[in-house]
Structure 1
């Protein structure tokens, strides 16, 4: 059972989330039981490029990611953050040159990279995803990343079930899609692989559960559905995506080349080459769980980590954490 708390003094938390496809920065202020984001940034760095096949961070990718981390670190210093956290997820769990990468980050910034397990990733993504939702209710948070996908189910005070599978937008694209656009056979093989993973997910009761989707696939679809020309987090968070829209978008994107997708994704063109794989994961999940809609949220792992740090400063270790206004 979680224990609510109040943070009297204003604290600034900086979080860098090293994703398999995208690197994200959040600078947040924590006070009076709320976490408010004051600065956001992201870069499509594709840390996971080639990782599924070779289990190594490629040399150029290594340099690009390191430069991005250093740039984000300077942003955190400019904001005088009291806590600065760097987390790694699926790709860093797998690569053989992880220690070299982590050592390079520490050499450049003085900060350790915290490589999260699938369980930890699910837990803190769940906390972040719930941060803007009403206190009462049962929730499921789906996080489609570049290398893995997590599902966590629970309430604001109780994380009940979770699972993590090695199926993400980058991994699906690199492992199965050899043509542009992918052939029906490639799509079918990818779907079979995804379904095998989804068997490990807990079953959701769609009549009793609000399903929330975080990370780039869902937020990009929400921006597309809202016809946004620039990405505005507050207009993405809370937007409801229907399965019908997800299905129509999948059929459209899976039948056109990446260049045409890039022209359609004005807010997220860097995802154009992997978005079809991500949408296939989302659609297969919704079909498998008989879910008709999903609520998009821009508040994922990095918000959960910021909330965790606020809780740690106050000696609290619970799923009941600061809320985002």
Structure 2
């Protein structure tokens, strides 16, 4: 017989054999009576099941469990099936005990996190309620404990890091009250316009607007001076603008005056009077600046597929025409198109001085032709006219008009019962539609022009003078399409101010930075 013993040193059991080995096998190696008559496959399956049963820990005791070889014939073992595995009732009990332990751990973690949140909320309420520093000291001692309590165990028993809820500023979008306000004022020969806007991610949102017809340039063409009545009307409108700027708390603004103050001999005196009586410092801009601002304000309406644009602004005392050569723009859009100004011209004729010279109330076809010829004489000074004609021949050049004249034509063309900027701004008109609208307005009597909702009494005597300037431009350069822009110098001023401050550049870089931080937090 062989003597066998098990020596345990606290590690895995080791089998030591001494003596001679007889032909009888150990009890573990002998097959059970139940296995007699089974195939080899069934025997291997039972052997694997016995191996799994040996590896299961004893869940009944709370002490440290050691792996030991189960005795299948022992009566102290739990009831097993015929195949030597744990009964279904035992498995169900083990799963029930596991669920209870898991629920206990999660409940404890939630209570700890809730306690930490309550303590943090109490601390915050004491800070805002004006409590003394002495009352805050006991709470500050609990802050390390609260921080550690937030690290509750997970469902798998692993310690998870707490979710970071503070330490990162939320991204504040444009359009909220914390964004600065910008303002642009355009005191022209006929109108006084104010626009207050707030920058957004891709442009700006208008907060307040003001417009009034003051006819500051009335009589300047003949007398070369601003009349007292015209200056009084303008100062009254500017005082209203000053109140709006003060009430809104505008951070940045630019206030410009155009042709009327440029041409009048007492223009500088009027600027000083405005400063004294209203507190507004007006800036008299030259014609080149006026043309550039018109492009900046209307550039977003340029066709993305166009190779060139003839942009014109028919004002009260002057008219600016700009050629944008876009054949090499390389995908540039918006404000960036101001870099592609090929040439520009400023005509010393506008709706006010042209109507004063030829009359605007009762306009006959002969008077209308005289106004067209008057405007056409100034177009001869355009030095790059021939090159522009060649560019138009390619068929990918369109007109872009910004003035009360083209918006009126669009409103009449659309048959609006009331002027609607949302429908007019950006409207496309074919060349035939423009010709038909000009003929319709020319044949319309003065009373009918006054009653038209898109013209009104303020523009009834000026609209045909504007149509004459537009007709002179169309006869010089014929384009198949015209796009209407109900925007202009004010929008250009706001665009330049915001671009100079880098509000859109900061927004783009901040968005990239926020995206990077969010990616690091995942």
Q: For residues 232-259 of structure 1, give each alpha carbon's deviation from its aligned partner in whole angstroms, at most 9, with x where no partner exists.
A: 2221111112333333333333344422
Structure 2 Cα separation of the partners of residues 222 and 195 of structure 1: 23
**Is 1:151 matched with 2:321?**
yes
Structure 2 Cα separation of the partners of residues 231 and 267 of structure 1: 9
Q: 1:62 aligns with which of 231, 234, 242?
A: 231
Asked whether the 8 Å contact 1:28–1:36 carries over to 2, the reply is yes
Structure 2 Cα separation of the partners of residues 122 and 150 of structure 1: 6
Asked whether the 8 Å contact 1:22–1:44 carries over to 2, the reply is yes
Alignment correspondent of 2:43: none
**Is 1:141 matched with 2:311?**
yes
Structure 2 Cα separation of the partners of residues 234 and 78 of structure 1: 27
Asked whether the 8 Å contact 2:183–2:196 carries over to 1, the reply is yes
Alignment correspondent of 2:291: 122
**Is 1:233 matched with 2:414?**
no
Offset at residue 200 of structure 1 (A)? 2.8
Asked whether the 8 Å contact 1:143–1:214 carries over to 2, the reply is yes
Offset at residue 101 of structure 1 (A)? 1.3
User: Within 5 Å, which residues of 2 pair with 1:11-160?
Assistant: 11-133=180-302, 137=306, 138-154=308-324, 155=326, 156=337, 157-160=339-342
Asked whether the 8 Å contact 1:228–1:267 carries over to 2, the reply is no
Q: For residues 121-157 of structure 1, give each alpha carbon's deviation from its aligned partner in whole angstroms, at most 9, with x where no partner exists.
A: 0001011011344566433211011111111122514
What TM-score results when the alignment is normalised by the length of structure 2? 0.55
Does the C-alpha gap of structure 1 residues 131 and 76 become closer, same or farther in structure 2, counting only changes over 3 Å?
A: farther
Higher Cα Rg, which structure: 2
Offset at residue 175 of structure 1 (A)? 1.0
Q: For residues 278-319 of structure 1, give each alpha carbon's deviation from its aligned partner in whole angstroms, at most 9, with x where no partner exists.
A: 011112211220123310011211100111111232399xxx
Structure 2 Cα separation of the partners of residues 268 and 113 of structure 1: 29
Does the C-alpha gap of structure 1 residues 197 and 245 become closer, same or farther in structure 2, counting only changes over 3 Å?
A: same
Alignment correspondent of 1:190: 371
What TM-score results when the alignment is normalised by the length of structure 1? 0.87
Offset at residue 266 of structure 1 (A)? 4.1
Asked whether the 8 Å contact 2:418–2:453 carries over to 1, the reply is no
**Is 1:314 matched with 2:314?**
no
Alignment correspondent of 1:320: none
Asked whether the 8 Å contact 1:229–1:267 carries over to 2, the reply is no
Asked whether the 8 Å contact 1:131–1:299 carries over to 2, the reply is no
Unaligned runs of 5+ in 1: 1-6, 317-325
Secondary structure at the aligned position of 2:239 is classed as: helix
Tell me how large the CA RMSD over aligned residues is: 2.4
Asked whether the 8 Å contact 2:449–2:455 carries over to 1, the reply is no
Structure 2 Cα separation of the partners of residues 54 and 22 of structure 1: 20
Deviates more, 1:159-168 or 1:27-36: 27-36
Secondary structure at the aligned position of 1:14 is classed as: strand
**Higher-strand-fraction structure:** 1
Q: For residues 26-75 of structure 1, give each alpha carbon's deviation from its aligned partner in whole angstroms, at most 9, with x where no partner exists.
A: 11112435223232331111111111111112111111111011112212
Taking CA–CA contacts closer than 8 Å with sequence separation of 6 or more, which of the two structures ends up with the larger relative contact order?
1
Offset at residue 267 of structure 1 (A)? 5.4
Q: For residues 78-110 of structure 1, give each alpha carbon's deviation from its aligned partner in whole angstroms, at most 9, with x where no partner exists.
A: 222111221111111101111121112211332
Asked whether the 8 Å contact 1:243–1:283 carries over to 2, the reply is no
User: Within 5 Å, which residues of 2 pair with 1:274-285?
Assistant: 274-285=462-473
Does the C-alpha gap of structure 1 residues 164 and 261 become closer, same or farther in structure 2, counting only changes over 3 Å?
A: same
Structure 2 Cα separation of the partners of residues 182 and 269 of structure 1: 16
Does the C-alpha gap of structure 1 residues 88 and 136 become closer, same or farther in structure 2, counting only changes over 3 Å?
A: farther
**Higher-helix-fraction structure:** 2
